[in-house]
Each structure stands twice: as structure tokens, then as C-alpha cells.
């Protein structure tokens, strides 16, 4: 009995120990699993982190590669790109732009009026203009003429004359030529009225010294003209006193081109120094006749060869000295024109000779259209149209301004004269008027 009890106790002890061992093994297995699981998590996290970093690095490497390629492309583009060259306009090109812009917006009526230089009386209707009042304002509003020319009768005293000119400028919608005919000597309106000292005339200058005296005279005349508000002088005379009893007489510097040319050039330079536009006259050379166009038809039998070898050389010298304007006479020169047509209305003289052969690209203006050589034979509108069709750019003092203006306007409206032809003349005119607006 006692032996059986002991045996049962031993069995129970053995079962207890086995149970404890099994529990320990179970705990160990669970612990091992937990450790293995934790290690797996740690490894997985490490692997994932490492892989993520590797992928991120790959992405960054790809980005860097793309950016590097873009920079390379940009650098290549910069190297190959042709940067547009900034072209600096010359003063001449700037002036052309200003002139063309101004002409483009002008009404046709203003364009036509801009080709005329007139007396203040011809647009106001008064007998003698000595003041720019409401009549002048109304006239310039209606007719935007290109210029006003003043004569001795318009001058009373210095203050009155300056005020009239200044007010006239203010009333104009466009820049005006304020013109006068001042050659010195016997043709000097301001000196005649005592507003300034008289300068010697052409013949006297040539007889009393060198061309430097003509320069000094031109600068003196230009100086007082500028003071009174002028910007255009219908001078100097470039004619040769080439025949006995020449109509030019003392108004010419002489009879030989090589001696006269320096005087003409110097006078032009003196005027130009004072910002006064010089106008050479009277192409092709009115000194070759003893007949006066003021009194009627005048003509010359001088040959074309003589004109080209003599008178043309003097005009060329004046042009090269800086004259921006040339006046064409109403004298007939059959050897140049081919018939007795006044030179101012002859395309052979104005366009073929002066413009093309001599290369003059400035303003060509007629002599006064109110003198007998024109008014006795042509109606005002007809004469103006013929002069423009011959190649003249401006009409000086028509006998009847309104008729001349309307005649030209109608010619443009009907196509007898193209508007572009009018524009060509205006470009030349405004290249002079706007020259001071372009900085060198």
C-alpha cells in the first residue's frame, strides 16, 4: 500500500516536471517567435528604408540628370541664339520718321496749302498788313500755308515787326517759313527801314575783298534776321552777270564762275551759321538776259553748253556749301527747255537738269508768280499746277492765292497731280522745317 502510494507520487512528480518543461519550451518558442518577428520587423523596416532611400536616390539622380540636360540645352541655346542687333537710327533716318509721321496725318487741304509761301495780304485781304490779329488767325486756320514772306511795307518799327511775326507763328497749325528777300545792298527791307545796318551788295563785296567778306555779310544778315524771327532768306544771287546790260547788274558777284562761286558758297555758309535757310536764285541763270521778268516775257539765247560750264558751276558750289533751297526763274531758255516755256514750268529744266543731272534733293521754289512774265500769260491756278508738274516743290507769291490753291487742290482731287507727288514735295519742305528736332 505504502509502495503504491510512493509510486503514484513519483508519477505525479514526473508529470509535474514534464508539464513545467513543456511550459518552458512553449514560453521559449513564443519568445523565439517574438524575437524572430521583431527581428523581421526591424530587418523589414531597415530593408524598406534602405530601398526607399535607394529609390529616392534614383529619383534624385534622374532629376539631377534632367536638370543637367536642361541646363546643357539652355547653355547650348544661349550659345547658338542670335541676339538681334539693336540698330541705332542715323539723324537722317530719325528726321525721315518725324517728317513722314507728320505728313501722314495731314488733311489733303493742308498738304496743298503747305506748298505755298504767300504775303500776309494775300490771305487776309488787307491792303498792308502791319499786325497779326483776328484776320491773320482766321486766315491761317482756313489755309495752312507753308510760309509767309514779309516786305518793306510790313515794317513800321522793331517792336511792331517782331510782335507781328511772333503772333503769326503762334496762329499757325504747322511750322512756317518766315521769309524775306535780303541780299544786302539795295535789296534789304530791314536795313531800308532802319532796323539794322545795311550790308554791302554782291558786286561791292566782290570788288572790295575776298570771299571771307561774303561770309561775314551772310553771318551779319543771318544774325539780324534770326533776331526778328526769320528762318528763310531768298538769297544769295547765284546768277552770273554774263551779258551786257544784264538784268542782274550789281546784284551778281561777277561774270566768271570760278571767281563768283566762292562768294556764293561763303554767303550760304554765313547764313547757315545763323540757322537761316539760304535760297540760291535764279536758276538756271537770269543774268544771261537783259530783259526783266517783272515787266513781261524774258528769254536768253545762251547755249546749254555755256549754262552748264558757267552758271551751273556756281549753283553747284552753293548747293555743296549747304543751300537747302533753289529758286527757278520765269525766264525762257530754249536751249535748256526746248521751247519758250518759262523755266519754272519746264520739266526739262526743273526735273531733268536741276533735280537729276545736278543731283539737288532740296526744295525747288518758283520765283514770284505774281510778276508779269507769269500773270500776263497764265491764270493763277494754271500756273501753279504747271510749276508743280514740272517738279517745283513750292509756289512763291501767286497772283491770286485762292485761285492758285483751288487749282492745285482740284488737280490732286481729279488725279492730274497725284497725292504722292504732293507728299514728295512736303517731305523736302519738312526736312528743312524739322531739321532742328533731331539731335546729332
In the chain, where the domains are located = 1-86, 91-437
User: Which has the minimum average pLDDT: 86-100, 262-276, 372-386?
Assistant: 86-100
The span from the CA of 399 to the CA of 144, in Å, is: 18
* pLDDT for res 117: 98
Average pLDDT over residues 102-128: 97
Q: For the whole model, what pTM was predicted?
A: 0.81
At 44 the pLDDT is 46
Q: What is the per-residue pLDDT across 1-44, written as a single tens digit (0 to 9) for each?
A: 444 445 455 555 555 555 555 554 445 444 544 444 444 444 44
Contact indicator for 407, 377 with CB cutoff of 8 Å = no
Q: What is the pLDDT averaged over residues 371-382?
A: 96
Sheet holding 177-180, edge to edge: 363-366, 325-328, 277-283, 232-233, 177-180, 147-149, 116-118, 395-396
Q: Is the pLDDT of residue 63 over 50?
A: no
Architecture per CATH, 91-437? Alpha-Beta Barrel (3.20)
Per the prediction, the chain carries an average pLDDT of: 87
pLDDT over 60 at 376, yes or no: yes
Peptide bond into 425 cis (omega under 30): no
Highest mean pLDDT among 47-56, 84-93, 331-340, 429-438: 331-340
- In DSSP terms, 363 is beta-bridged to 325
Nearest-10 Cα torsion for 216, 218, 219, 225: 150
Say whether pLDDT at 146 is over 70.
yes
Model confidence at 48: pLDDT above 50: no
Amino acid at each position: 500500500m505504502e509502495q503504491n502510494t510512493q509510486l503514484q507520487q513519483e508519477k505525479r512528480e514526473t508529470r509535474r516536471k514534464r508539464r513545467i518543461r513543456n511550459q518552458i519550451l512553449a514560453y521559449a518558442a513564443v519568445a523565439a517567435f517574438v524575437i524572430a518577428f521583431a527581428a523581421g520587423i526591424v530587418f523589414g523596416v531597415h530593408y524598406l528604408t534602405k530601398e526607399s532611400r535607394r529609390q529616392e536616390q534614383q529619383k534624385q539622380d534622374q532629376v539631377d540628370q534632367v536638370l543637367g540636360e536642361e541646363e546643357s540645352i539652355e547653355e547650348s541655346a544661349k550659345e547658338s541664339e542670335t541676339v538681334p542687333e539693336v540698330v541705332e537710327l542715323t539723324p537722317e533716318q530719325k528726321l525721315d520718321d518725324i517728317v513722314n509721321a507728320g505728313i501722314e496725318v495731314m488733311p489733303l487741304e493742308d498738304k496743298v496749302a503747305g506748298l505755298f509761301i504767300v504775303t500776309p495780304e494775300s490771305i487776309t485781304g488787307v491792303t498792308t498788313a502791319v499786325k497779326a490779329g483776328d484776320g491773320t488767325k482766321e486766315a491761317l486756320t482756313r489755309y495752312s500755308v507753308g510760309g509767309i514772306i514779309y516786305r518793306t511795307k510790313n515794317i513800321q518799327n522793331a517792336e511792331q515787326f517782331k510782335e507781328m511775326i511772333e503772333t503769326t507763328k503762334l496762329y499757325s497749325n504747322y511750322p512756317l517759313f518766315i521769309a524775306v528777300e535780303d541780299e544786302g545792298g539795295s535789296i534789304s527791307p530791314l536795313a531800308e527801314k532802319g532796323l539794322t545796318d545795311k550790308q554791302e551788295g554782291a558786286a561791292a563785296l566782290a570788288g572790295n575783298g575776298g570771299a571771307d567778306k561774303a561770309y561775314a555779310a551772310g553771318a551779319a544778315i543771318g544774325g539780324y534776321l534770326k533776331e526778328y524771327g526769320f528762318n528763310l532768306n531768298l538769297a544769295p544771287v547765284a546768277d552770273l552777270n554774263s551779258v551786257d546790260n544784264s538784268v542782274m547788274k550789281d546784284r551778281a558777284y561777277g561774270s566768271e564762275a570760278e571767281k563768283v562761286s566762292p562768294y556764293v558758297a561763303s554767303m550760304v555758309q554765313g547764313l547757315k551759321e545763323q540757322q537761316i535757310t539760304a535760297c540760291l536764285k535764279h536758276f538756271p541763270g537770269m543774268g544771261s538776259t537783259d530783259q526783266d521778268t517783272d515787266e513781261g516775257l524774258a528769254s536768253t539765247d545762251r547755249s546749254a553748253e555755256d549754262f552748264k560750264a558757267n552758271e551751273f558751276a556756281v549753283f553747284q558750289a552753293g548747293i555743296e556749301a549747304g543751300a537747302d533751297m533753289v529758286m527757278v526763274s520765269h525766264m525762257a531758255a530754249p536751249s535748256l527747255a526746248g521751247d519758250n516755256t518759262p523755266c519754272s514750268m519746264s520739266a526739262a529744266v526743273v526735273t531733268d537738269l536741276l533735280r537729276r543731272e545736278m543731283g539737288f534733293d532740296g526744295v525747288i521754289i518758283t520765283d514770284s508768280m505774281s510778276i508779269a512774265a507769269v500773270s500776263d500769260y497764265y491764270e493763277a491756278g494754271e500756273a501753279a499746277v504747271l510749276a508743280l508738274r514740272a517738279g517745283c516743290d513750292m509756289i512763291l507769291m501767286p497772283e491770286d492765292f485762292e485761285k492758285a490753291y483751288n487749282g492745285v487742290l482740284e488737280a490732286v482731287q481729279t488725279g492730274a497731280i497725284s497725292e504722292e507727288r504732293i507728299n514728295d514735295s512736303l517731305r523736302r519742305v519738312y526736312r528743312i522745317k524739322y531739321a532742328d528736332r533731331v539731335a546729332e
